[in-house]
Amino acid sequence: MIEQVRIVLRNSGLINPEDIDDYISVRGYEALVKCLTESSPEDIIQTVKASGLRGRGGGGFPTGIKWEVTAASESDEKFVICNADEGDPGAFMDRAVLEGDPHSVMEAMTIAGYCIGSSKGIIYIRAEYPLAIERLNTAIAQSYEYGFLGENIFGTDFSFDIELKFGAGAFVCGEETSLIKSVEGKRGEPVVKPPYPAESGLWGKPTLVNNVETYANISPIILNGAQWFRSFGDEKSPGTKVFALAGKVNKVGLVEVPMGTTLRQVIFEVGGGIKNGKEFKAVQTGGPSGGCITSENLDTPITYDNLKAIDSMMGSGGMIVLDEDDCMVNVAKFYLEFSLDESCGKCTPCRIGNTRLWEMLDDITKGRADDNTMEKLEVLCNTIKKSALCGLGQASPNPVLSTMKYFRDEYLEHINDKKCRAGVCKALIDYAINPDKCIGCTLCARNCPVMCIHGEPKKTHVIDQDKCIKCGSCLSSCKFGAVYYS
Amino acid sequence: MATETDTREIHIPANLLDELDRYIGDLKIDLNSERRKGYLIQILHKAQSLFGFLPEPLQIIISQKLNISHAEISGVISFYNYFTATPKGRYRISVCMGTACFVKGGEKLLEEFEKFLEIKAGEVTPDGKYSIDALRCIGACGLAPVVMINDKIYGNVTVKQVGDIIEDCLLMEAEA
Amino acid sequence: MKKITDMKSYLEVKNELSEIKKQNTNSKILIGYGTCGIAAGAGEIYEALEESIISGEILNCELVKVGCVGYCHAEPTIELQYPDGTSVLLGNLHPHTVPEVVAGYLSNFKKKGKHVLEKNVTCDVTKV
């Protein structure tokens, strides 16, 4: 049985997030005091580098190097930003950290400010998280009272302030250049990198952008050392990762496990297996930029590189479990719809390419696709991947590509046989009643919203196909398994 | 759609405008600095929380106060899903369409609400009482599928509960 | 509030806080008060427990609102921290029965039962 290891979630649910004393009593802010009074910025950056911590927002870029580069940029002004724009549908670990342990993030941001030579921190947070915003505001006010924030912290010449900036419901703003545009009060459209934010970010000044979970790792690393951190996880991906396990799994929730734990352990041991005894079909990681992983790859140890090798990605840590009732073409369409909706419209491959992709997928789910569709899909996916401007666009075809690769037969079934085995694509299914099983209980007829099921009590019922809207309520209401779809 | 102009008469209450004025004043914005734009989004948040939506006359007022062109402000409003230039219902029904909710039947819930209220997502009922929106993940995936009425979250919602939820709104209205 | 100026003053504050904690012989009831918890009814659980503390049905304990421990499937959840430092995490609670359930666990610092999700959630290795 795999044990959870709580580094990021060490205090979440155990301390009162609205009381700074509770945080201090579990060695909160000790790392900050240690850094400012005993260490040089160079030493701290070396420790973070040596720990091998990689960005937990999804990309996995080494955090220490990011800090080092930003520290080396010459400027009269620099910024530290915390990316709390958790837009990935199905991920909620950042929200849990901010609601449960806001000081851990602020402490790390202040340490980062000291390291790179910045006196201004900004937490860019989704407006959809009102509770997290409230707790952060409380935490910031309390921090000033003790002198963990403000002018000349601990009598040094280092000053640091933290301010909140709110997102406004744009997924693309999780991308760091878009995020910066949004903080500047503009439309959150991404810009070409380089220059990286480390050189020219907010208001053209060097800017360090890290994710909530990344920051939450910093204080334990400083207090316990890089080697301690490396004792968890894997050589290239040290430490732990928090996953938001959701979908058709028994124990939905947040899970923090060492990197290198297998998907099977997470889903079946920690997650307690699939709901209602159904068959596992796939697990989606990486959100709209990731892919679907099938049962044959369930024993893959979770690391940044391993997930990439099986056509998915770590992403921010959302893990959606799918079962036999989910149609993979429809899932791909769902993610594409998301990317399409969230595309900022600046570059053509993303704006128009994704629209065309969506139309093709829509054709497949409605039985209008022809033999060429698969090939066209593939070509267009690869074109978008190569030519889109930012991470959102480049990654948007990933769910399509990965489902096409691992569930090709399901696509072909939709196209050639006009069949959806999961019974999701309405245009491809007809509901019918098996006369051998129907006892004429009338339950389906009473539940039918369009009253298209006819039959006398205690006699076999029949569905009027012309009127049927394929809502499936007859299927879910029948207690005798008489309703089926074909 | 955010860009459509509302044909109904738009009334901007003076007391709310005063409150917005005070809020902007407290920010002590340097109107000559390029960085004044950094305050725009939080001011729009404040304005929308006061007025419920961001009608064009209000946009123009904000534009004058911040010395930012109206076109730029309108561009920002249309970019972000959170902002709306048209009014919403008194009861804003938001059906979560995050992945977890989607695989657990969020789409069916949305359809049911649309059928029940006879409006589409993004629309308001003629009496101005209800509006329906598809919402991106609100991070309550553990309770999927989730529906939010104004700021209250309903978890593990089934299609059959849709009527009850609407009834809940009626109760809230009766209490208010 | 005392300003912290260096390691010495930090440790003074911290040790003082730990000392207060140590001397506190009350049990703590930590209520998972994150967005998910609230949506699942943590507010009602809090009220029910608050009432039974006022009425004397539950004795010698404090109520604290905390963030989420991640057991979304079993929300609302609470963690009972006993005076000896051990703890037990309870889930699938209902406002009507929660005072009785909690009183039962507190009466003999129980660690087993149908509501138990995990024991001693604090793991030493990360409790830095």
Domain ranges (residues) in chain A: 20-230, 240-323, 328-416, 430-485
Q: CB-CB: which of B138, B143, B153 is closest to C72?
A: B143
Chains sharing 3 or more CB pairs under 8 A with chain C:
A, B
Reference A241, options A7, A1, A486, A480; nearest CA is A7
Residue pLDDT, tens place only, B106-123: 988 999 999 999 999 999
Average pLDDT, integer, range B48-64: 94
Q: Do B132 and B158 belong together in one domain? A: yes
Q: How confident is the model at residue B9 (pLDDT cuts 50, 70, 90)?
A: low
Nearest CA in chain C to B156: C40
Does residue B117 sit in the same domain as residue B170? yes
The answer to the question of residue C17 being in a domain is no
**Which of B146, B150, B153, B165 is the mutation pick for testing C, counting most C CBs within 10 A?**
B153
Tell whether B46 lies on the interface with A, counting CB pairs under 8 A: no
Written as tens digits, the pLDDT of chain A (486 aa) is 788 899 999 999 999 999 999 999 999 999 999 999 999 999 999 999 999 999 998 789 999 999 999 999 999 999 999 999 988 888 899 999 999 999 999 999 999 999 999 999 999 999 989 999 999 999 999 999 999 999 999 999 999 999 999 999 898 999 999 999 999 999 999 998 899 999 999 999 999 999 999 999 999 999 999 999 999 999 999 999 999 999 999 999 999 999 999 999 999 999 999 999 999 999 999 989 999 999 999 999 999 999 999 999 998 899 999 999 999 999 999 999 999 988 988 899 999 999 999 999 999 999 999 999 999 999 999 999 999 998 899 999 999 999 999 999 999 999 999 999 998 898 898 899 999 999 999 999 998 888 999 999 999 999 999 999 888 889 888 999 999 987
State residue A58 phi and psi, 5-degree precision: 145, -45
The set of residues, in sequence order, having a beta carbon less than 8 Å from that of C94 and lying 6+ positions away, is: C41
Q: How far is CA A421 from the centre of its chain?
A: 28
**Alpha helices for A425-483 (secondary structure H):** 443-447, 473-477
Instruction: Evaluate if residue B1 carries a pLDDT over 50.
Output: no
Query: According to the model, what pLDDT value does residue C128 have?
Result: 41
Q: Which amino acid is at A417?
A: D
Angle between helices A373-387 and A398-406 (to 10 degrees): 140
Contact assignment for B153 to C72 by CB distance below 8 Å: no
Q: Say which CATH number the domain at C68 has.
A: 3.40.30.10
Q: Return the closest-CA partner of residue A185 out of A197, A173, A200.
A: A173
Taking a C-beta distance cutoff of 8 angstroms, is the pair B157, B145 a contact?
yes
Place of tokens 């744009």: A170
Whether B45 and chain A come into contact, CB under 8 Å, resolves to yes
Distance of residue A340 Cα from the nearest chain C Cα, in angstroms: 28
Residues 12-41 of C with CB under 8 A from A: 13-14, 17-18, 21, 30, 32, 34-36, 38
Residues of the domain holding B51: 14-79
For residue B122, the distance in angstroms to the closest alpha carbon of chain A comes to: 14
Instruction: Name the pLDDT band for C18 (thresholds 50, 70, 90).
Output: confident
Per-residue tokens: C47: 């009220």
Measured between beta carbons, the chain B residues lying within 8 angstroms of C75 are 142-143
In chain B, how many domains are there?
A: 2
User: Using the 8-state DSSP alphabet, how is residue A419 labeled?
Assistant: -
What pLDDT, on a 0 to 100 scale, did the predictor assign at position A156? 94
Structural domain tally of chain C? 1
> A residues 346-365 near B, CB within 8 Å?
none
Q: Is residue C6 part of a domain?
A: no
Residue of chain B nearest A172, judged by CA positions: B80
Angle at A285 between CA A48 and CA B140, to 5 degrees: 90
DSSP A274: B
Asked if residue B72 belongs to a domain, the reply is yes
The three-class DSSP label of residue A273 is: coil
ipTM: 0.91
pLDDT reported for residue C127 = 45
A433 Rama sector, left if φ>0, alpha if ψ -120 to 50, beta otherwise: beta
Burial of A386-417, coded b for 16+ CB within 10 Å and e otherwise, reads eebbbbbbbbbbbbbbbbbebbeebbebbbee
Does residue B164 form part of some domain? yes
Q: How far is Cα A59 from Cα B4, in angstroms, rounded to an integer?
A: 38
**Fold for domain A240-323?**
Ubiquitin-like (UB roll) (3.10.20)
Q: Residue C72 belongs to what domain range? A: 25-119
Residues of B within 8 A of C73 (CB-CB) are 142
Interchain contact, C72 vs B142, CB within 8 Å: yes
Give the gap in angstroms from C-alpha C59 to the nearest C-alpha of chain A: 21
Rounded-to-10 torsion of CA A198, A385, A316, A287: 150
Is the link from the previous residue into A197 a cis peptide, with omega within 30 of 0? no
Q: How confident is the model at residue B5 (pLDDT cuts 50, 70, 90)?
A: very low
How many Å apart are CA A467 and CA A450, to the nearest integer?
A: 7
Q: Which of C9, C35, C75, C118 is best to mutate for the A interface (most A CBs within 10 A)?
A: C35
B123-150 average pLDDT score = 89
The C-alpha atoms of residue A180 and residue A178 are separated, in whole angstroms, by 5
What does the block give as tokens for A473?
A: 């309520």
**Is C39 close to B140, i.e. CB distance below 8 A?**
yes
**B 51-110 residues with CB < 8 A to A:** 68, 72, 75-76, 79-83, 97-100, 102-104, 108
**Contacting residues of C for B144, CB less than 8 Å apart:** none
Residue B6 resides in a domain: no
Report the residue count for chain B.
176
Chain B residue with CA closest to C38: the answer is B153
Side-chain-side CA neighbours of residue C117 (13 Å): 23
DSSP character at residue B69: -
Residue A209 corresponds to which tokens in the numbers above?
């952008």
**Is B8 a domain residue?**
no
Total residue length of chain A: 486
Interface of C with B in 35-64 (CB under 8 A): 35-36, 38-40
Give the distance, in angstroms, between the CA of residue A113 and the centroid of all CA atoms in the same chain.
27
- C72 in contact with chain B, both atoms CB, cutoff 8 A: yes
Task: Please give the Cα distance from B32 to B35 (Å, whole number).
Answer: 9
Question: What percentage of chain C reaches a pLDDT higher than 70?
Answer: 94
Please report, to the nearest 10 degrees, the dihedral formed by the alpha carbons of residues B94, B97, B101, B105 taken in order: 90
- B140: domain CATH number is 3.40.30.10
Contact C125, C76 (CB under 8 A): no
pLDDT at A36: 97
Rounded distance, CA C29 to CA C62, Å?
Answer: 6
CATH architecture of A328-416: Up-down Bundle (1.20)
Q: Does B53 reside within a domain?
A: yes
Instruction: Based on the fold, state whether residues B21 and B66 are members of the same structural domain.
Output: yes
Are residues B74 and B107 both part of a single domain? no
- pLDDT at residue C122 is higher than 70: no
Residue identified by tokens 């950056």 is A45
Q: How close, in Å, is residue C37 to chain B by CA atoms? A: 9
pLDDT of residue A471: 81
Reference A147, options A137, A159, A136; nearest CA is A159
Query: Using CB atoms, which chains have 3+ pairs under 8 A with A?
Result: B, C
Which residues in B lie closer than 8 A to residue A282 (C-beta atoms)? none
Residue B119 lies in a domain: yes
User: Do residue B131 and residue B162 come from a single domain?
Assistant: yes
3-state secondary structure of C19: helix
How far is it, in rounded angstroms, from Cα A33 to Cα A31? 5
CA distance A390 to A394: 6
Which residues 6+ apart lie within 8 Å of C73 measured at CB?
A250, A251, A252, A253, B142
Phi, psi of A159 (to 5 degrees): -120, 150
Q: Supply the pLDDT for residue A325.
A: 92
Q: Which of A203, A246, A449 sits opposite B141 (nearest CB)?
A: A246
Secondary-structure percent of chain C, ordered helix, strand, coil, rounded to 5: 40, 20, 45
Interchain contact, B99 vs A284, CB within 8 Å: yes
For domain A20-230, the CATH architecture is 3-Layer(aba) Sandwich (3.40)
Asked whether residue B8 carries a pLDDT value surpassing 60, the answer given is no
Determine, yes or no, domain membership for B3.
Answer: no
Among candidate residues B23, B49, B79, the one where a domain is terminated = B79
pLDDT at A138: 97
Same domain, B98 and B171: yes
Tens-digit pLDDT profile for residues B62-83: 999 999 999 999 999 999 989 9
Report chain C residues whose CB lies below 8 A from the CB of A17: 66-67
How far apart are alpha carbons A124 and A210 in whole angstroms? Answer: 11
The CATH code belonging to domain A430-485 is 3.30.70.20
Say how far apart CA A400 and CA B33 lie, in whole Å: 45
Quote the minimal CA–CA distance from A425 to chain B in Å: 13
DSSP 8-class letter at B102:
H
Pairing of strands A120-125, A240-247: unpaired
Instruction: Give the whole-angstrom CA distance, residue A253 versus residue A193.
Output: 36
Asked if residue B116 and residue B73 are part of one domain, the reply reads: no
